[in-house]
Amino acid sequence: MESEKILETIHMISDENLDVRTITMGISLLDCIDSDSDKACQKIYDKITTKARNLVKVGEQIQEEYGIPIINKRVTVTPISLIAAASHDQDYVKYALTLDKAAHTLGIDFIGGYSALVQKGYQSGDKTLIKSIPEALAQTDLVCASVNVGSTRSGINMDAVAEMGQAVKKASELDFMTNAKMVVFCNAVEDNPFMAGGFCGVSEPDTVINVGVSGPGVVKKALEKVKGASMDVVAETIKQTAFKVTRMGQMVGTVASERLGVPFGIVDLSLAPTPAVGDSVAQVLEEIGLERVGTHGTTAALAMLNDAVKKGGIMACSHVGGLSGAFIPVSEDAGMIDAVNAGTLTLSKLEAMTAVCSVGLDMIAVPGDTPAETISAMIADEAAIGMINNKTTAVRVIPVPGKKVGETVEFGGLLGHAPIMGVNPASSADMIHRGGLIPAPIHSFKN
């Protein structure tokens, strides 16, 4: 093997923050349903702690043997609103506590699936689950919640949109950090290994291994070598880099799946930033030629980046899934934070960017006095972008009580810190109070 290639890999890992962001085991809980919630919770705890008992150990082994950092080990489960519905309990906090206990026993970083899918309407468990989300997240450490409120096929459930605005507000009053563990989706995917929106869809196998790669730092370094070249060259460079990064993800997933005896699901080809220096999607966009992210041209650069990452990654692995694209969470990306502080990146520009990249308004801190209806309206806007464009979009906003625009809030760890961003002061309340469903869009006459 050529020395240069060996050194390239070493540089990517040691100097450019190349890592596997997560190995996530999806576990179906459909066989744990019981009308007695105590029995159901016991079955859930037993199944998770049996199926995933070696997850952390195998993750650490791979990290040691291959010298590739594996940042998180996670578990996703079937949406709890489906599992708990048979029990007729008044709230599902008990289920959240069970998931949390199982996660602590396993030593994993997160467990996702305190979720409901209500894009077309509610079944009996959905309302109970949504009502209990703030309480469930406040009482647990590692549980993540998500609610799917819309889809291209079924439209947007505006009753759920209204309710989620209130849930976000209520959660922030209990403990604003809980909102970092909750996301509202349109077109949620069933095999997403990333949090907070990961859950194990009902069409997934009983257990499955999904892998999420990362690597904005590697892409940035590669682009530094093609300064001034045309956009074709930029796109080609990103493709080639994404290919290599994804091959590593594919290998890690294959090894993990063999050692755990669990089928390998998908690789999620996402560029996921962290607050660490040189691990930023914003800096990739700036390397393409923007003085600061958020200025004119950002949407075009991001569209190209997102597409090139997919093109490069798709051939590199057997099955691609999850969210696959570029993430643009504000608090987790040093370049995004700088741009907000410099005044070049606003909420409306972020919204435009979400139309061309994976996911949506992510990890954005807003003033604590933002009305619930305004948050609902932000959710509705994002859901509309996802619904019309056939893509996943999401909202993870964090109202911080007592904080005003321009102040900063500290989340810590992988979640970073965030400047409080201003929201539009005009009210959207009357529209949100209408409720009902936005009908599914027409699928031809695309203009």
Contacts with another protein by CB under 8 A lie at 1-3, 5-10, 64-68, 244, 247-248, 250-251, 255
Q: Supply the minimum distance, in Å, between the C-beta of residue 68 and another protein.
A: 6
Q: Supply the minimum distance, in Å, between the C-beta of residue 5 and another protein.
A: 4
CB-based contact 74:67 (threshold 8 Å): no
Q: Supply the minimum distance, in Å, between the C-beta of residue 14 and another protein.
A: 8
Q: Supply the minimum distance, in Å, between the C-beta of residue 247 and another protein.
A: 5
Q: Supply the minimum distance, in Å, between the C-beta of residue 422 and another protein.
A: 44
Question: Given the complex with another protein, which of 2 and 430 has the nearer CB atom?
Answer: 2
Question: Given the complex with another protein, which of 13 and 394 has the nearer CB atom?
Answer: 13
CB < 8 Å & 24+ apart, contacts of 126-130: 126/81, 126/85, 128/81, 128/84, 128/85, 128/89, 128/90, 128/91, 128/92, 129/80, 129/81, 129/84, 129/92, 130/81, 130/160, 130/163, 130/164, 130/167
Angle of CA points 22, 26, 27, to nearest 5°: 145
Phi, psi values for residue 188, rounded to 5°: -60, 145
Tell me how far apart the alpha carbons of residues 228 and 333 are, in angstroms, rounded to a whole number: 25
Question: Given the complex with another protein, which of 10 and 277 has the nearer CB atom?
Answer: 10
Strands (E), 215-317: 264-268
CB-based contact 59:73 (threshold 8 Å): yes
- How far is Cα of residue 2 from the mean position of the Cα atoms in its chain? 37
Six token digits for residue 330: 């504000």
Q: Supply the minimum distance, in Å, between the C-beta of residue 411 and another protein.
A: 32
Q: Supply the minimum distance, in Å, between the C-beta of residue 235 and another protein.
A: 20
Q: Supply the minimum distance, in Å, between the C-beta of residue 65 and another protein.
A: 5
Rg (CA), the chain: 21
CB-based contact 75:103 (threshold 8 Å): yes
CB-based contact 340:330 (threshold 8 Å): yes
Q: Supply the minimum distance, in Å, between the C-beta of residue 18 and another protein.
A: 10
Q: Supply the minimum distance, in Å, between the C-beta of residue 217 and another protein.
A: 16
DSSP 8-state secondary structure symbol assigned to residue 421: P
Question: Given the complex with another protein, which of 4 and 410 has the nearer CB atom?
Answer: 4
Q: Helix and strand tally (H, E) in the chain?
A: 15, 13
Question: Given the complex with another protein, which of 132 and 250 has the nearer CB atom?
Answer: 250
Report the run of H or E that residue 419 belongs to, with start and end: strand 417-419
Question: Given the complex with another protein, which of 37 and 250 has the nearer CB atom?
Answer: 250
Which residue, 172, 302, 316, 177, is CA-closest to 243?
A: 316
Question: Given the complex with another protein, which of 107 and 121 has the nearer CB atom?
Answer: 107
Q: Supply the minimum distance, in Å, between the C-beta of residue 343 and another protein.
A: 40
Question: Given the complex with another protein, which of 46 and 224 has the nearer CB atom?
Answer: 224
- How far is Cα of residue 9 from the mean position of the Cα atoms in its chain? 27
Tell me how far apart the alpha carbons of residues 183 and 204 are, in angstroms, rounded to a whole number: 21
CB-based contact 221:98 (threshold 8 Å): no
Question: Given the complex with another protein, which of 68 and 103 has the nearer CB atom?
Answer: 68
Six token digits for residue 401: 């009580």
Which SS3 state, helix, strand or coil, does residue 57 take? helix
Question: Given the complex with another protein, which of 241 and 354 has the nearer CB atom?
Answer: 241
Question: Given the complex with another protein, which of 238 and 359 has the nearer CB atom?
Answer: 238
